Amino acid sequence: MKDKRQRTYSLINKKALRLLADLIRISRLQQGFTLAEVAERAGISVSSLKRIEGADAKCEIGMVFEVATILRVPLFVPEGGSLTRHIQQAEEKLALLPKTAPKRKVDGVKDDF
């Protein structure tokens, strides 16, 4: 049975989704592509593309990134070449960190301000 709890998203998450959705839509319109054309190239439905452009937080991140890539919307950095450098730096940092986070001790509420 599916969990019926309502997901909540932080304000910064909502703003980032809105920005990426707007950039995708702007790029699509500036390049003169229809929803159907981009959806076909991305291998998704038109309704999925509408959800992406509507900043729906439940869209798969890979699907959103694929649409952004097709429309040449920069992801994280202006040019793709530096993305490789950023990935390498992240992997180097991850190599120095433990594989799992240790369990935190919860000693109760500390309210001695």
> 11-74 is classed in which CATH architecture?
Orthogonal Bundle (1.10)
Query: Long-range contacts made by residues 8-13, C-beta under 8 angstroms, separation at least 24?
Result: 9/57, 13/57
Residue 37 amino acid letter: E
> 39 by DSSP, 3-state: which?
helix
Kindly report whether the global pTM for this prediction surpasses the value 0.75.
no
Reported as a single tens digit per residue, the pLDDT across 51-108 is 999 999 999 999 999 999 999 998 876 665 676 777 788 789 888 887 877 776 766 6
Taking the C-alpha atoms of residue 74 and residue 65, their distance in angstroms, rounded to an integer, is: 10
* Count of other CB atoms within 10 angstroms of residue 71: 20
Domains of the chain: which residue ranges?
Answer: 11-74
